[in-house]
A and B are shown apart, each in its own frame.
Chain A
């Protein structure tokens, strides 16, 4: 996409992009939203439990069919496989691991042999959600935790959970207990409707920013490329990287808010506060990603349910291997879930290294200065002497700026200028290497520098 002069931008992008994008978005989404509402109303009816679960599963399959056509069969097959594995491993102790193995091998087989790249890339998100749900259910049963306390779940329950329309297409991952609460049918309320509409509105806004505004940020909205000398400089390359990253981020927020809306509409995502239902499902926190405190903060707030899943089921399981191994293992698991794409694996493993080094360095700094500069915000009553001094804020700001730099670097890979075919199939290895060497592998060097610094401070 070549840069447009501002006049053309105003003429083309605003009416030519904003309106069609919003229309296409809504036109593709309304059946899903209707299905979610239908599921919600079904759950309110006085039906036997089995009927509700079967209804949820049917609704989910319809939603899948709407988005993927006949290819929805692959997702349905995965759900079937997971339910079957759960049934067969009834007597074993390690059901979580069994399910993880089954789901992973299905994903790898599909990726390598069964389906063509474009189709697979299209369905990856849905399959990831199903796999995550199945694995979490297995571990919950092992630990006797969550909503699985009430004994063995029936196959209808499992299928309803795996395919519930509120989360089957765009996510989010929700624990089994949350699904069971949604099936109970919490009362319809104004707060519920407000939350659903708000999430939907925010989703559309993010969609528009991602498609129509972010790719033109520095060429048209803040015309920084105007200065001729700047056009070919290193700075321009970084600005472009930031544009790509921003567009990718907003695409993610779109999906996050959309999944928030669908899950809420389908009735899950309510939490109980002092006997009050509160509709406060949060999938992503854009502000904490765009103005980050640390990369760890970014990774958590990027997709809260996903990071919660990784923390509960992967990190805690792998913890006995040591922190570093657990962190890398978590990111590796995430990469495996995302499919065998070199590009995503590179991003996720880089993220693992960056967050680990950041964690170590900030721990050292916090100990030396006795200040609140850890990756995570200090809890209110922490033992640090300097909490909110100006220099502490300055240091946090500087470390946040480093995180912003890492973000542009990583996000440069999700380039809007790439061909449509590339975007449909996912990006290859040579593409990743070319993009990063254009930016001189800067982020990796900075990470190495931080690590050396952390070692010296020891």
Chain B
């Protein structure tokens, strides 16, 4: 009897725990896979991508079952995903280094903080650039041969002739996009506006990597004439991807939930994004979309998870976003000087050593109040 009661109580407790867990999950599930960035620090796992290890590593518990399965099926891809994520974060910080929101990250599972659960432009950028980072990195690892399940294969190369079509490593960008779609998008659950927005922005990130691929060519012919040309495709640098996405960030379109018609259209038709202003064109797959206004990021707010700009360094002579007026939100700034010693006037001596002088410079720093 007592045992039965205990069992019941335990079961109730278990149910309680589960429901509370699923509640928190429902809120924070978006982009939970970002937590695997910490995987990169545990190096033993990278060399050994066996099942057991995957399950044991705590940061991998952040992944859904589908994501874990994908990682198991593609040995070696975990490293690629996590280094792609790191590149993306570095790029995000670089692109936003001069703005009030400077892509802050923290240790721990929620690396981007609460901004992820909003629907503003910054959220859109985070989703797009991390998705682009994974696609970029996986595509590159494929041709590098460090992922066992994909290679650079050249089935799609066109025939020759004067109007030849260029190939290059087009298949691994396909693999990168496919994998990104399966892996990154599976974090998103639900049917609401945020879900649609995140999926759209993920895809926009992948599209950007794809459309920025460049072709390099060389002419051959008698004494340098251009009788024959050979070309190959090259992935863009991630800086180029970041630049394009930053432009898209500036021109992002605000959307609302479009629920057109109640007839038996397909599900995809039912759920789609519409521009908030009906006069605008619907967003293209390349565009970033958002649905709520960004907070001003000026002051600390625990609720929205913004750190504020107090203590940030600003440029006193710039009238732009990095200028003290805008960056400090009109609160003013304090100025201090700093002496910095660094190596300078380095000269190369044949062969082979480099000698430098130590230079001390005074730097004037402006810090927001």
Contacts and interface: CB of A to CB of B under 8 A. Distances in A.
Contact of A16 (B169, B227, B237): B169
A27 B225 contact: no
Contacts of B319: none
B348 A27 contact: no
A403 B169 CA distance: 40
Interface centre among B152, B225, B232 (most CB of A within 10 A): B225
Contacts of B55: none
A389 interface: no
Contacts of B223: 124-125, 128, 252, 303, 338, 344
Contacts of B222: 124-126, 128-129, 170-171, 255, 259
B152 A16 contact: yes
B168 A20 contact: yes
Interface centre among B154, B220, B235 (most CB of A within 10 A): B220
A23 interface: yes
Given A11-B140, A11-B143, A27 B160 contact: yes
A207 B352 CA distance: 34
Interface string B219-236: 111111111101111110
B167 interface: yes
Contacts of B140: 8, 11-12
B268 interface: no
Contacts of B151: 15
A311 interface: no
A125 B354 contact: no
Interface centre among B217, B221, B347, B348 (most CB of A within 10 A): B221
A255 B235 CA distance: 29
B230 A211 contact: yes
Given A12-B140, A23-B154, A211-B218, A170 B352 contact: no
A121 B226 contact: yes
Contacts of B354: 227-229
Given A251-B220, A424-B226, A27 B231 contact: no
Nearest to B146: A11
Contacts of A29: 160, 228
Given A10-B144, A15-B169, A125 B221 contact: yes
Interface string B151-190: 1101001011110101111000000000000000000000
B226 A423 contact: yes
Contact of A67 (B143, B162, B169, B234): B162
Given A12-B234, A423-B219, A25 B162 contact: no
B346 to A, nearest CB: 5
Nearest to B349: A229
A24 to B, nearest CB: 5
A424 B144 contact: no
Contact of A27 (B164, B224, B226, B233): B164
Interface string A412-430: 0010100010011010000
Given A23-B154, A344-B223, A230 B348 contact: yes
Interface centre among A23, A26, A129 (most CB of B within 10 A): A23
B144 to A, nearest CB: 4
Contacts of A27: 159-161, 164
Contacts of A118: 226
Contacts of B159: 27
A12 B235 contact: yes
Contact of B162 (A66, A248, A414): A66
Given A12-B235, A20-B167, A230-B348, A424 B219 contact: yes
Contacts of A207: 220, 230
Interface in B201-257: 216-228, 230-235, 237
A67 B222 CA distance: 14
Given A69-B162, A423-B226, A20 B220 contact: no
Interface in A139-193: 169-171
A279 interface: no
A1 B228 CA distance: 20
A233 interface: yes
Interface string A196-213: 000000000001001100
A67 B228 contact: yes
Contacts of B160: 24, 26-30
Contacts of B237: 2
Interface string B18-53: 000000000000000000000000000000000000
B363 to A, nearest CB: 23
Interface centre among B164, B230, B346 (most CB of A within 10 A): B230
A28 B161 contact: yes
Interface centre among B143, B216, B232 (most CB of A within 10 A): B232
25 contacts: A11-B141, A15-B145, A15-B152, A16-B169, A17-B232, A20-B166, A21-B232, A24-B164, A26-B160, A27-B160, A27-B161, A28-B228, A69-B162, A122-B221, A122-B226, A124-B223, A125-B227, A128-B222, A169-B227, A211-B218, A211-B230, A229-B348, A229-B354, A251-B224, A255-B222
Interface of A: 1-2, 7-8, 10-12, 15-17, 19-21, 23-30, 66-69, 118, 121-126, 128-129, 169-171, 207, 210-211, 227-230, 233, 247-248, 251-252, 254-255, 259, 303, 338, 344, 414, 416, 420, 423-424, 426
Given A125-B221, A414-B224, 13 more contacts: A16-B234, A20-B230, A23-B157, A24-B160, A25-B228, A27-B160, A28-B160, A28-B161, A124-B222, A303-B223, A344-B223, A424-B219, A426-B224
